[in-house]
Amino acid sequence: MSHAIAHILNNDCPHCLEGKVFKEKNIFLNIGFPKMNEYCSHCQFKFEKEPGYFFGAMYVNYGLTVAQGIATYFIAQFFFKETFDLRIIPIIAVVIIAMSSFNIRFSRLLWIYMFKNYSI
């Protein structure tokens, strides 16, 4: 399991673990919508199986965003006197916007790895 997470964070192909899923080598610090390779450069594995394949990755992205928002709230609440201060909302929004590019890439990689063929 730890090897799979390392390969996901390295943007590796789920089939051969050598090619890259996204055209950008680093999935962490990129701005804009991700540019995916259609096929793996090493093994020619097709990443998008069918039209609309990554619609399910939107649910993974939503879960990541909600988890980051909740974690940000629990961390930020220690810096305010009141239980729920309205100044926490912009802090949560900034964190969510800053993490959105990473979340898109990470959720697509998770989606590909969840549905790869493990019998090979």
Do 77 and 67 contact (CB within 8 A), yes or no?
no
pTM of the model: 0.81
pLDDT digits (tens, 9 = 90+) for 27-80: 666 777 778 888 888 888 888 888 888 899 999 999 999 999 999 999 998 888
Task: Return the domain boundaries, the chain.
Answer: 3-115
pLDDT of residue 81: 82
Q: Does pLDDT of 119 surpass 60?
A: no
